[in-house]
Chain A
Amino acid sequence: MYRSHVLVCGGTGCTSSGSQQIMEALTAELEKKGLQNEISVVQTGCHGLCALGPIMIVYPDASFYSMVKVEDIPEIVEEHLLKGRVVTRLLYQETVTSSGVKALIDTDFYKKQHRIALRNCGVINPEVIEEYIGTGGYQALGTVLTEMAPDDVIQVLLDSGLRGRGGGGFPTGLKWKLARQNDADQKYVCCNADEGDPGAFMDRSVLEGDPHALIEAMIIAGYAIGATQGYVYVRAEYPIAVDRLNIAIEQAREFELLGKDIFGSGFDFDLDIRLGAGAFVCGEETALMTSIEGHRGEPRPRPPFPAQKGLFGKPTILNNVETYANIPQIILNGAEWFASMGTEKSKGTKVFALGGKINNTGLVEVPMGTTLRTVIDEIGGGIPNGKKFKAAQTGGPSGGCIPAEHFDIPIDYDNLIAIGSMMGSGGLIVMDEDDCMVDIAKFFLEFTVEESCGKCTPCRVGTKRMLEILEKVTKGNAVLEDLDKLEELCYYIKNNSLCGLGQTAPNPVLSTLRYFRDEYEAHIKEKKCPSGVCKALLSYHIDAGKCKGCTLCARVCPNDAISGSVKNPHVIDLDKCIKCGACMDKCKFGAIYKQ
């Protein structure tokens, strides 16, 4: 028994900011002080506040230390862990108030969050199955196998209103029901952990922080549809997640939660991991199953849908990690509990990965129907440097941009589609006045062009042509008719592509054309990039009135484009200038401007 637990985040974010070294230093320091039998060091999954890693929480008093450094460890051990004096200056400063320390759940970042899928992330040690059981883990599975018929399980999911968290938003209960109705000698349960949207990392976080929740839900799914084998398709680019999932599967086998006759119910189920090489198209369900079968990851036409003919030609269900992570909680707390959260057609919560121009980069889980304003301004802590919000990009390369005028729209599946974006897997990239929307659309198009598998022509050739038009726009070579061509091409690709990748690839362009057409037109008509991003349309100049002739700019210029003598205003030779912006960053007098 330990009197105190010190939780150190071992998620990918904190690992990259050095949490392993923190763990080692902490363990060594505790031994030095003879505290190793009183204080336990627990490696957990992600707490969500990735911008402030490495993160460390001391229980039972729940003190939240952020951006911990190895040299802080002796002080924290001596002062806090031994003598009980919290080292206030090292705490997450949001928790420090004039009257003392406030609880983490009362900070702006956590106050409005409601964690269901992430409930154990950052709380338990994901490599110890007993900790998961201690928080009520595998209880839902026990209940399902001993007290419920498969149809009852499906009914609970139908009643709960749970929809797929991977992007499409298809009702999970219905998917299971269809798979159950199809008789076959073998069926399969698959998990899509091939998280590919740039900026989204909630699935990785669940795998790293609470892998048993996924395993438990997949066994439940197997029982509900009548499958005895499951596969988790996860990208090899997630090494920590793969390790923890492997450990978790081994432990579940040891505890006979995977294998024969689980809970004495006569039900058998086993689970294996299949590693993907990181192709974006393998997140599409038919391509994913083709890849598990050992073929090149390419989609195939639907129907037949996976519920009829899926993996190895057998009825299969495929759900996303976050979807699965909700299921044990729905079984335990009931469909009504889950359906009480969210909006009319989108129930429960959704995890968002906040990125881009926002103070609290990280993972947040909020009830469906929370407004963008709450997520960005309150939970996310707003936009750095007092800049103005321009748009939020949701749904990655399949989604679109939400402009400021929709800042107060409740976020759910249907509202996002109505305004030309989509939920996607939950990436949320915030953009401010310095971001050029044409450039953003071009960025996502570059991604889809690269990731298109090439099987169907609209996607393979069409996206490439779209990218070429966008490049013309950003270089100032386009004419207004190009925008009409671009739009026509968008609809053609949407309607004629084989799979979701191509069908949604034009979305970033369509939504920016819809809300920011003026920016496109400025590039074409005035040959100007209003945000000052597109290099071809910019030029750097020196304001002779402000220039003191310090020569610094001339010295940092990598291409010798700046000339002038000491104490006299300098001049940029526009023919030589490569627009790197080094002079502007270095000028102490604000004399250099771009236009």
Chain B
Amino acid sequence: MTLPWIWFILVGVLIMGYAILDGFDLGIGVLYPFLAKDEAERSVLRSAIGPVWDGNEVWLITAGGALFAAFPFAYAFAFSGFYLAIMLVLFGLILRAVSLEMRHRDEKWKRLWDATFFLGSFVPALLLGCAVGNIIRGVPMELSVTGGGGGGPDYAGTFWQLLNPYSLLVAVTGLAMFVTQGSAWAALKSEGALRERAARVRSIAQLVFVLLVVATTVATLVVVSDQVSHAMTTFWGWLALVVFVAGIAIARWAMSRGSDVGAFAASSLAVAGLIGLWGAGAWPYLIRPRDGAYGLGIQAPLLHSSHLTLTVMLLIAVVFVPIVLLYVAWVYKTFWGRIPREKAEY
């Protein structure tokens, strides 16, 4: 029982890392055409994420690998069930991954790469939230009996069913979250007019984000009320709620004091809290069933890898996650500091 629980949390931590770190990259990509007013400012925005975005994306790749290793049924269900949505996210991530480097080296095609940088950030920023919305709301499931290994739970709906109002609300909430992260990072890394503009966007985006979180909470009470009540009967649920509220409150306070570091850190705390709330409400489900022939859903304690696999993976994680955090922190420290517009070269 303990090992699946630990891995549920570990996958959650990887998702948190992704939402916080690649969150600001994605947010900057979404804001890129709007926040920067000239070539030099665009360069500042690119430089702000240049050295770190690639490492940030590894959180998603590792989360995917960890999900595959620890909960193969959930991995198989989500990736094949949300096929078109996942493919769109993937195409976005592919475009985004090449656009910065290619733009830097290919002056003639820079408009193309500017466009793909935005699009490749916007599409994942929106669709990742949509996927989360469906996972919270529950999706129709059936039991496939074809295929090797005796099959397993599979998605029984269509692509269009994924675009239900609740999930779209979560998608927009996710987008607001990424934009908040992005503008907070932009304010932290820039100077002068760009910094002022980023700070204004940050303040508005975070208010919109909080309003959307409230709206999502109300919608969750209507659509899947048991998850809210479930989260609120656990210590973890309350902890996550406190972290979220504290994150928002500290961020507002930091903004009023003009502390960009504080605003970014606190905003990241709020992201962690929100992901925590999702996890606390979801447990033991990785993916909830809804209106389908298969009512068991995909539950972490029932459909997980063998204890040996989970133990070996845990050992690897216990050794390497702290090492990763150490050198990631070191690289952030190395590239710390605001980027003056005349010095931005990327």
Asked if A and B are interacting partners, one says no
